[in-house]
Structure 1
Amino acid sequence: MGTEDDLYDNLEEGENNTDTLLHHFLPVPYSITCVLGLMGNVLILAVFVRYEKIKTMTDTFLVNLAIADILFLLTLPFLAYEAAHSWVFGEIMCKIIRGAYRINLYTSMLILTSITFDRFISITNATKANKYRVTKQKWRCGVCICLWALALLLAIPQFLYSTTKGENKCFEVFELSIMQLVVVSLQMIVGFLLPLVSMIFCYSFILRTLVNARGVQKKKSMKIIVAIVVMFIATQLPYNSLVLALALNNGLHQKKSFFQICIIMEAVAYFHACLNPVLYFFVGTKFRKYFWKMLNALGLKKVAEETSDNLRGTDGESKNISATTNLNVTSV
């Protein structure tokens, strides 16, 4: 979620450790992330198409999150090949891949932020939940269109400044250092700091509400919230901190140790695309029910379906607008 390609600029072929990390290590996590992420997110779309349909604001967010993650994951094979060998796809393709990569990446993070705010309003303002539920249904498509449009605006620098160097690497080249700093700072604020601050702020209030709530979902919901925040910080904070440090001090990319750490943290950051399906959908009881139904329909496995006559969607269907009835929002 930064300008990691600037790090490639001063790589020397004779540096064994760095060469091993770049050409042998990086393609492996890229490939694993791509395969596992595609499986999880495609399965989410299949469940929505076959069973769940898109009925609520949260459903709309989850579908768009899955689409953004899928499109992001589809750029990883190109980046994996570049890391293992070199960029051989031409300058036009370089701009397309880098631009599409940024659009999907920022759309994913903006949707995560929107899901956070949606949960915050639904749970902490439970007395207004019914009114909010009706209002947001009217605007769900418009909100998602705005998120994609904002991500497109943020990705414009990648379309403009992405280029190839000796047809070996694809990265952004900025005419002025101050321009690079402004672009990286803006992209980091919207693509990382905004989701991070919103998660910490909103989920802290949600947790406080859950402490006073009753019901069997309370403990499970609190665990999911903690997992969401911890996983986001663990995967995104280290790499984005390094990218920001690089933008502030270009001389850091000449240090082999800094470059090596960036390679590892980059792989960790991208793995979050695999975690999104788990954290935002797979943990739901409703998903497991539909998952077993899908397996039975395909004749792959005969299992007993989970029984629950009162399964609610993430926006809820009960007229009892207490904090307890809104716990299912946090567990999707």
Structure 2
Amino acid sequence: MADDDYIDSEFFNTSSDSSEGHKHFLEFHKFFLPCVYVVVFICGLLGNSLVLVIYLFYQKLKSLTDVFLMNLPLADLVFVCTLPFWAYASIHEWVFGKVMCKTLLGIYTLNFYTSMLILTCITMDRFIAVVQATKAYNQQAKRMAWGKAICLLIWVISLLVSLPQIIYGKVCYLDKLICGYHDEDISTVVLATQMTLGFFLPLLAMIVCYSVIIKTLLHARGFQKHKSLKIIFLVVAVFLLTQTPFNLVKLIRSTRWEHYTMTSFHYAIIITEAIAYLRACLNPVLYAFVGLKFRRNFWKLMKDIGCLPYLGVLGQWKSSEDASKTYSASHNVEATNMFQL
């Protein structure tokens, strides 16, 4: 975990800030991150579990998009399941042992970067579906096979990137027992690799692919075009707002040692880290619930478990869907493909 990595003995011994500032920071750290972990855990558990249930029992894996959207909540779900352990350790100390420390560090990192790489694949898949719609449709079976192979490769790559956390993860005593990873000899290489996979690669894919998609949609005509554009801007905005601050802080921290001794900088790390974890809650909404097919299956699930008076609610939703389809002309394949992903 990042927060365990930056709380070290040098911070407490060499900081130029007052001891009162240290005390306030430790109190803030003790209660702020656990609260964030619990909120992300609950929301991420509910949202991603719901997506998995719908894909397993209602929607099935009929397209490449479905394959990616099945792996994304799976990665996010395992990621959020590690958060209760870190929440407890932040409040008290690490009591789960060395093996559990290495395992949870590995699982945490594995699923974090699996999720980010899958986001990259979803972006590229949307690019092909919109810009090369006819070709994508004709090669659907081949794309499905490639997609499954790519998902397997993503998990393998993420496991390799996670190995330093697994190998060098350890429990040490710094005022209390903590589980963390820190190795000066390879930390720079690991940071560069993880930032490339976890931030710059998804960002580059979004900039390039969504720029072309927007250009294509602007030349299309139809009811769905405007909704598709809104979804694109929302996806990019959420990614930038949640991931940029934390990665920027990590880059700054890696360049100059004196940042380790600034209490204000440690506040920045904690807050931006908490913001970055929100993506695990937002991914189900951004990448699943925007699809018409997924929402239809969601209402079926709600009907089956008796959570709504489905005749009225489902009827209203059906009317909305039918109206949407009526306004969508058959020749506007680019716009409808984008919106229904």
TM-score for the superposition, normalised by structure 2:
0.89
Cross-structure match for 1:292: 299
Paired AA for residue 338 in structure 2: V
Q: Structure 1 83/293 Cα, relative in aligned 2: closer, same or farther at 3 Å?
A: same
- Return the offset for 1:115: 0.4
Cross-structure match for 1:104: 111
Cross-structure match for 1:317: none
Structure 2: gaps spanning 5 or more residues:
13-18
Cross-structure match for 2:6: 7
Cross-structure match for 1:249: 256
**Deviates further, 139-148 or 245-254:** 245-254
1:59 aligns with 2:63: no
Give aligned pairs, total.
322
Cross-structure match for 2:221: 214
Residues in 2 aligned to 1:194 and 1:200: alpha-carbon distance in whole angstroms: 10
Cross-structure match for 2:89: 82
Residues in 1 aligned to 2:332 and 2:199: alpha-carbon distance in whole angstroms: 29
Residues in 1 aligned to 2:84 and 2:162: alpha-carbon distance in whole angstroms: 20
TM-score for the superposition, normalised by structure 1:
0.91
Residues in 2 aligned to 1:61 and 1:37: alpha-carbon distance in whole angstroms: 18
Q: After superposition, what is the alpha-carbon deviation per residue over 1:267-308, rounded to whole angstroms, capped at 9, x for unaligned?
A: 000011000001001122222222222122112211232324
Cross-structure match for 2:290: 283
**More helix, by proportion:** 2
- Contact between 1:239 and 1:266, CA under 8 Å: does it hold in 2? yes
Q: After superposition, what is the alpha-carbon deviation per residue over 1:162-196, rounded to whole angstroms, capped at 9, x for unaligned?
A: 111126111112152xx211110111111111001
Answer with 1 or 2: which has the greater Rg: 2
- Contact between 2:217 and 2:225, CA under 8 Å: does it hold in 1? yes
Residue among 168, 173, 181 paired with 2:177:
168
Paired AA for residue 182 in structure 1: V
SS of 2:179 mapped into structure 1: strand
Cα RMSD for the two superposed structures:
2.1
1:35 aligns with 2:34: no
- Contact between 1:102 and 1:155, CA under 8 Å: does it hold in 2? yes
- Contact between 2:222 and 2:332, CA under 8 Å: does it hold in 1? no
Cross-structure match for 1:120: 127
Q: After superposition, what is the alpha-carbon deviation per residue over 1:101-156, rounded to whole angstroms, capped at 9, x for unaligned?
A: 00000000000000000111111123422234232022222111001001001101
SS of 1:104 mapped into structure 2: helix
- Return the offset for 1:3: 4.3
Paired AA for residue 170 in structure 2: T
- Return the offset for 1:309: 6.3
Identity %, equivalent residues = 41
Structure 1: gaps spanning 5 or more residues:
313-319
Paired AA for residue 181 in structure 2: E
